[in-house]
Amino acid sequence: MLENITVNANGHQQSCIIWLHGLGADGHDFEPVVQMLNLPNIKFILPHAPYRPVTLNNGYEMRAWYDIFGLQSESQQDEAGINSMQTTINAMIEAEIARGIPSQRILLAGFSQGGAMALHTATRFDHPLAGVLALSTYLPLKNQLKEKQHPANKPLPIWMAHGRQDSVITLATSQSSQQTLEAAGYAVEWHEYDMPHSVCEAEIDDIRQFLLRVLPA
């Protein structure tokens, strides 16, 4: 199991969000956002990705959910690494179900590489989830989606947001993933903000409204 930070873990929560950070960050990265959301009825789990060499960064070791070879749409993708991490996140979800939280009250969230992992895992998970929060991100291995998606999560609410000034993952890359998801039958709620590869206050307000809708108290 991954090391993690847990917020609002007093045992009374009936909902859980597993929030995956971006490349090179750690679980602390979104702690301030969780505090701003002010949702005490929801348990938040903020795991730390393991350290691994990242090809894009000259093999430098950093926290990463999988290896990255390039950020272009035709770049090679680390299929083995993505699928291995999917298994790990599945186990985290199943541990929360075993603790008594129904799968329909568990949501996956992530920023950048963490958002890619959240989209990949949720669309393939074999029990219905509450939704996905996909921030400044893309869908990895998207040509496999129709073959690998699980029917249990076809009704999955997907909330995607991107910055118009994002120079790390371009707006076009994220929009292409949105189109792939919609073509596969998912309802995607799309938001754009005037920001770079980051989050902004207006976005956090909108996230809060989405979470209150899909995880009502």
The burial class, CB within 10 Å (0-12 / 13-18 / 19+), for 81 is middle
Query: What tokens appear for 191 in the block?
Result: 């938001």
Strands of 106-111's sheet in order across: 4-7, 42-47, 15-20, 106-111, 131-135, 157-163, 187-193
15, 166, 174, 177: the catalytic one is: 166
**Is 197 a catalytic site residue?**
yes
From residue 106, give the alpha-carbon distance in Å to each of 7, 90, 151, 171, 215. 15, 12, 17, 28, 8
- Catalytic: which of 103, 112, 136, 177? 112
Q: Tell the residue number behind the tokens 């073959």, with chain if given.
A: 147
Would you name the residues annotated as active-site residues? 112, 166, 197
